[in-house]
Amino acid sequence: MAAEVFIDTRGFYAQWDRNDRAHERVKAWLKANRAKFIAVTTEWVIGETCTLLVARGVPHLIGPFLDQLAASRALRSINPDAETLDETPVVQYQLAGRVDMCG
């Protein structure tokens, strides 16, 4: 099975806003690694990304962003429960220093 990679608001935003300083890096990374992973995100991140697109003056990107998510076979949206949220600090600590934060 392909590795799972959590995509947060920063990754989505940089992918969609061509004026973002990490845009080209994110697009290149996705192109080079797309077949190697399954993207995982949450409904919270999707909503936050839409809010950020509006706040940064590019609300016209919301429709294409949501369309891409709906059409993607390589994206899994999860809704964390209390147990998952309790484990988050442990996982973050384990990953500290091993994650490239794209900007």
Among 2-11, 28-37, 46-55, 85-94, which stretch is predicted with the lowest mean pLDDT? 85-94
pLDDT for residue 5 is more than 50: yes
Q: Which amino acid is at 71?
A: A
Provide the pLDDT confidence category of residue 37 given band limits of 50, 70 and 90. confident
How many domains does the chain divide into? 1
Burial of 27 (0-12, 13-18, 19+ CB in 10 A): middle
Residue 75 resides in a domain: yes
Give the tens place of pLDDT for each residue, 52-100: 999 999 999 999 999 999 998 888 888 776 666 666 555 555 555 554 5
What is the percentage of the chain residues whose pLDDT exceeds 90?
46
First to last CA, the chain: 28
Whole domain around residue 38: which residue ranges? 3-95
Determine the Cα–Cα distance for residues 47 and 29; give it in Å rounded to an integer. Answer: 23
Residue 102 resides in a domain: no
pLDDT for residue 19 is more than 80: yes
pTM above 0.75, yes or no: no
Residue 103 resides in a domain: no
